[in-house]
Amino acid sequence: MSIKILFINGPNLNLLGEREQSQYGTVTYEQLKDLCIKKSNELDIKLEFVQSNIEGEIVTWIQKAKNKQDGIIINAAGFTHTSVSIRDALQIFNKPKIELHISNIYNREEFRKKSLISDVVNGGIFGLGSNGYILAIMAMHKMLLNENK
């Protein structure tokens, strides 16, 4: 039985490689998706990799994941700092969750230093660039294997 993980990407992440390369690097969204799927396949993880610029879609994905997924990795992007709705949906999802950010949100503008979701997830990865995505998959894999022992 393979592990099932929902990997959620928030607003503007579809523009990776184009926007603010000094913060987000040159890897495109499609390249990042391919790297994540490759790593997931190596670990026998069924990965659902999604992106939306719409808050309500993200909330719906989290709600639907309750009965389909073993864990969630989320880069809520700008919604990290503003969305009580995403926070509430994550709080209801009673399985492992990891918050992820390509940049270090705690080393940026003041308004980015507050995460509304950090207190409802199991852990976070910040500021490690696109490598953070691979580390998040590996960490979730280990969390779920340990949970099932």
For tokens 């989290």, name the residue.
62
Give the burial string for 53-75 (b: 16+ CB within 10 Å, else e): bebeebbebbeebeeebbbbbbb
Does the pLDDT at position 84 exceed 90? yes
Range of 79's domain?
3-147
Q: How far is CA 109 from the centre of its chain?
A: 21
For the stretch 117-139, pLDDT in tens is 999 999 999 999 899 999 999 99
Which residue is catalytic, options 81, 101, 133, 141?
101
Q: Does 101 qualify as catalytic in the annotation?
A: yes
Q: Is 141 a catalytic residue?
A: no
Q: At 76, is the pLDDT very low, low, confident or very high (cuts 50, 70, 90)?
A: very high
Structural domains in the chain (count): 1
Which residue intervals of the chain are DSSP H helices? 21-24, 29-42, 55-65, 84-92, 131-147
Question: Across the strands, what pairs with 125?
Answer: 100
Contacting residues for 21 by C-beta, under 8 A, at least 6 apart: none
Which of 45, 46, 36 is CA-nearest to residue 9? Answer: 36
The pLDDT tens digits for 34-72 are 999 999 999 999 999 999 999 999 999 999 999 999 999
Greater confidence, 69 or 104?
A: 69
Neighbours of 16 (CB within 10 A): 23
Supply the CATH number for residue 54's domain: 3.40.50.9100
